[in-house]
Structure 1
Amino acid sequence: MADDSDFVGHLVKFNSLSSGRDKLARLVQYASKFAWWYLQKGHYDPNVIIKFKNVDNALSTTRKVLRLGKSIDFLHSALRSIHISDTVLRLTITLSKINQACYLLFDHIIWAGRIGIAKVDSAKWKDLSARFWLVTIILNLIRDVYGMWMVIIEELQLRNKRASKSTYGNGDVNHKYKTRRIPNDTEVVLSCFQESVPLILDFIRNMSDLVLPLAALKRINASAGMQGAMGVVSSVIGIITTWNPDLRLVPS
């Protein structure tokens, strides 16, 4: 009963977060995109395909509404991240927040044109939004790679420090010494990957998302199915890290 209570408590807390609802909507949106692509490829009932396309488009518009004002939140986060002591983290995180704020602002303009509030050049703003989204993801990937590199360097330095003191008294009366086994470089790197789950999850999420703006900008030829699949992967990771804050990358 306690486990059920904890689950329900987590579910209520997750659902109360605007980011949680947005990630759930994003998951359904990209799952719908993959579904209509798969059904269309298999020549299924066109009426079913249209329904999934409508869900995809409706959730895309709904998410734009849910994110109204988020640009201000990201700019506020950027003001906080400029105080990070590490130069690389400070630059990548702060610039990422600023780019994301711009990307969402342009997204609001696209939404206004979509529902008829204003007459806008949708193609122009979609292209501009995708460019800022792409830069955001690239900065996030640089932050992920740098973070993992720093973890590996630190662990290698600790390994080398232990190696210089790799003998210990084995307890016999003659004080003989026995050499400790020191892990090699490959073992240290693999250990870093296993122990840096938030970094790995964030890297996979950003690599999955990278396909989306590249496809929007026609830099790669990605089918709706591939975009849907990559969107599902990144959305699932987003849900996991929102559900369990211990898996969230900090600082980010």
Structure 2
Amino acid sequence: MDTWMKLNSTRKGHDSLARLLQYGCKIVVAWHSQPRWFSQLEDTLRLNRKVLRFGTFVDSLRSASKMAISNTHDHTTRVLESLSLLANSVYLFTDHLIILHASRLLEVDKAKWSKISNQFWCLSVLTKLACDIIQLSKQLMKYSMDIIRGHFQQCLKDVEPVAISIVKNMMNIILPLAALGYIKNKTLVGVCGVGSSYLNLHSMLK
């Protein structure tokens, strides 16, 4: 219980917990014959997350600029990470515009900006996934001789974080694709949202 309270006390931890509940509600809505209460709760949690992350596009933009000039990664990783952070920044910024529109503080074309927002969300996840796959392949090459010799334990320990990130982002990519209308199965979307949220919380706890 203390661990979950500590997670909830941070912005990132609170967002992940709210996200887990949000997509859990989506699963219930997909299966329940009268999902009104859960649908309302899902909408409330979604709005809560959007409001609490308002302005965070600046943080993502700063991280992208720092990554671009970093010397701690190879060129390919640096480019992909920077692109992912930059795309995430644009996604968040356009999402802020939609929130301002919903609050009647700004008049924008909601359909247009929602589509742009989801497209950049998709790009952010795709580039992060590509970066993770490249990183995993490099780690497996590094430990190839140990794997051949049967020394799996250290290899598995070292590749676990990036392997979890790959699984998480494979589930995450379903979400913007669904928002763009390419995936219609609400149960799949809910399961992927819950799964990726759980893995994110697991990584934070680790």
Same fold (TM over 0.5): yes
- The code of the aligned residue for 1:38 comes to W
Shift of 1:86: 0.6
**SS of equivalent to 1:135:** helix
**Pairs within 5 Å for 1:1-252:** 8=2, 10-39=3-32, 44=33, 46=34, 49-82=35-68, 83=70, 84-156=72-144, 159=145, 184=148, 192-193=155-156, 195-218=158-181, 220-244=182-206
Aligned residues: 204
Give the superposition deviation at 1:222: 3.0
* Superposed displacement of residue 78, structure 1: 1.3
Query: Offset at 1:15?
Result: 2.2
Unaligned runs of 5+ in 1: 1-6, 160-181, 245-252
CA contact (8 A) 1:152 1:189 kept: no
Q: Which runs of 5+ in 2 are unaligned?
A: none
Superposition deviation, residue 75 in structure 1 = 1.1
- Name the structure where helix makes up a greater proportion of residues: 2
Residues 137-169 of structure 1 show CA distances to partners (whole Å, capped at 9, x for unaligned) of 11111111111111011112xx2xxxxxxxxxx
Q: Tell me the TM-score normalized by structure 1.
A: 0.75
Q: Percent identity?
A: 28
- Residues of 2 paired with 1:207 and 1:183: CA distance? 25
**Aligned-partner Cα distance in 2 for 1:130–1:22:** 18
1 CA distance for matches of 2:151 and 2:121?
A: 34
What is the CA RMSD across the aligned residues, in angstroms? 2.0
Q: Which structure has the larger Rg over C-alpha atoms? A: 1
In structure 2, C-alpha distance between the alignment counterparts of 1:100 and 1:91, rounded to whole Å: 14
Question: How far 1:102 moved relative to its partner?
Answer: 0.5
Residue 11 (structure 1) shift: 3.8
**In the alignment, is the contact (CA less than 8 A) between 1:152 and 1:188 conserved in 2?**
no
Give the drift of 1:17.
1.0
Does the 8 A contact of 1:64 with 1:111 survive in 2?
Answer: yes
